[in-house]
Chains A and B, each alone.
Chain A
């Protein structure tokens, strides 16, 4: 139960010798608690009897080990042969997160190289759920690829390549990365989820993925993978009929892709995430036909469409002109009143809305329109925007208790003749049915 206490016990028992540790075993069994003299006797008996932690059945040991962090398991494995065997039980090695950091580029600890070696040697065939967390250095990304390319006799179910600081996989020679990744694709045969955002994955490697894992692939996250083309992702959608979650950038989104995902053979899509990022100012974006979205919605009526926009205000031209089945909408940069007005008109399925910034004019009518037409809306966050207090109260009143998350920076709310800032928190709390405050930033 108590880890700290447990550690003390472990430490002291090693120094106190066998009798002492037996006493502790006794104390762990309250049902047999007796008078002290008797206890002493039994202790001796137990020791003579040869009671041994090592005799703990493997299942129980496994159960305990599963609750221990790796470092503690490693310490425990040095106690006796039995525990050492338990340390290597395959069940404990199905899942592993490699943390690859260099002292020069990260504050965090890295997985010890010896441990990595041991895993590759003894446990690579047990690994099923693997992720790599890689800091901003190219060395770390390389190290991840080296490990990947040694995973030849394993069958992974999930693989995640996560850049924790900068997208360091992008700095690797593409061929090096691809060859490491395809080792996993070829050997796994049953990959179910794959998270490879910000990597140099390309069309041919996706073909290898599809050729080996098309029956099992359920999730693919590949936002900001510049070497993939719309045709490359279309090939995945065409053949991986079990795909239920997909994350990619807008330039890969096409009418064909949506139609492929809504073909009869295809399971219902649950989650589609699109990042719309402007690479150079004034970029022009293509449009998606309403009929394609309609097809998607007919096929997967419950799917989440999550869109992250990081655009300049003047790049929104093609968006929100017709109805889109967006459920979660995030505007990372400034977005105009006009676009937010269009959101209110064309996003009837909207559930969550985040507006990081907007111009200097209050968003009063836009919010009220959204409250009126987006009847599923349950979460909203506003950063550098302005809303008059009365319009905000009206908005909350219209949405009522379905607003489970309401995160508004204090500066957003502009006091008017009806409410000042002290009053608004009561008024809003009343309509929400719970205590609510605007988010604050320190004045320092």
Chain B
């Protein structure tokens, strides 16, 4: 741009009395001024100024009341009388800004329609844009004809205005816009760059749900000549969409349209090159041969003088580095120079890319460069870096020393909670996975809690220290740090420190006498919880308390994790009524259930009444249990092992809606049919489900409990019970018919007829599958749980799963066959990854704990293979799991 004016420089001195045309502007006054719009002799210049002021107010966040807006709108419509082009343009802007209501719109439609057919192109284009923003579909049909003409108008501005309006209107009146296909298609061939772009965008939106049509569109256009860079970017997007949806149906051969994407890498426009490079790197299962040309152009961008270009390139390469680190190593030299980039976003992306692609020898050098770098970036970037360092350390365990040092250094520096938590989490993970790093890692954590302002982190570290510290070569050196917490910190941290001390006392006999001394001092603590814990642990370690019969029980009590979900425990405690019978923790359901949101609302309403004492929502399980135990026929079955989620047996919105819940007992199955009658004119009586279990041979019906009456819209249940052999994984298919007596209900009186007619209603089939015998129970630390299980119980085998759509699909299929709880987020498969490990945990019928480790691999033509390793409390169950998978 031009040099600053010399004249202006001199004005700098009176900056204080800075002049703004809007100084002291006030809404009321401007609304008064708007009266000039009503003048018979319009002063265009003056009107323009007033509109600008009104727009200024709106832009600054001022709002007009309904009345004010209506007044301004009507006044503005008067301005259509003026012939002044500049004023007209401001009027358009004002109308769009006011977004008038439907009855107001009618007043301007005729003026706008006149402008739409004006000789001035600028009027036409703008009138179209304004009109399409404010009209509804009935008015739209009236002007449809003009819009279709406008799309193929020879003036590109008019055509673009109509096309962009079409994209907007497609959301509200799709059936109308879809009729414009022919005109839009013609516009795609336009010579004007932007018309081509807008036409292509609209055409794709019209056809987006028709895969074949999109595919045809792409096929014809990739051969032809789409010239505008923006349109070309669109075409690249649509092409990759087609590639994605077509999958790899051309087995082993070249990917369709890949040539087109590659040719776009040689385009003149940088935005097209970037779009193509990104499309290639995002391809499903991209090969390194396909990646190479894309990486090459991105590498050139890395040394561009434009920050935006460097950013775009490094961001793309960073993503590639997560899945194909080797493909990016060629760029490492360019990447290293970006560490000192002025733009910190670029520098951070460069660092994390290098951490992903770096080799063992470059780690030390990188660490040195990073130390300076860390001080001047924001916390959010630091977290990214910490995470990258963690994965690097797991990749090169031998380098743990320098990486651990780096982490401990940044742990000492200033930072917010999330950042510190990321560092602490990383150190803990490194300690867990790299045995050599344990002692130094624990030491760094101890140093950190000496001066840590976050209670959450202190307690987390103390807990971890209690588990790991006693197993080190010299546990005594940690005691000082822990006891300092008891002296210096708040009650929460003190209580946590007391527990940690007790753990040391339980595991290290040599330390026991000294721990006793320390614990006794805690008996005088000011906080109840701290004192209670100290008392409990002293008794426990002394062998006095009833919990600690043997040393093994003590350790179990101190270190064992809670094997029931906290939510369920809380619910059970709420439901427990004080009585002679002590609360039994084994009665708490172990299944993890996500709480439906709707139920939360329900308690909100109830809480006003005495029901409030019931506290949180009872889990679905608890309510089932109550229901089932109230039926004498089922009392002899024992406690249900598992209740399934409801399975719908009818389509939505049919006359009767029925779903079934499968309650599994050791030797029985109870089917609970939840029925709802959705016809107001009917009363159903003697409702029963007739179950045909001929395809479930191992089950024999023992009882059926009909439902006496089922009035309109009040759900009721009917039950059918089956006996099945104990200890056998009985599965099978059940077909169901709902039988009942229908009675007509007089809608005015609400009374039912005395006479009823027998009727029946076919329900859908359902199956009892092996997953019904498995409870989803998570473990907090899979690795520990896995290692603590008997190696003898382990059963390993390999399976071929054949051709699958994707790795993720195969993983979720196996999870649902087994019906187990995925641990540590391993049910999510990274895009493009070729292998995956999934950890599952659960409890099998008979209360047998089961852990499963699944390793998946996928080959080029989507052939998936799986290695299944099972450990469980009972080797027979391990075999059983293999049978399930083998038959699934």
Mutual binders A and B: no
Residues of A within 8 A of B (CB): none
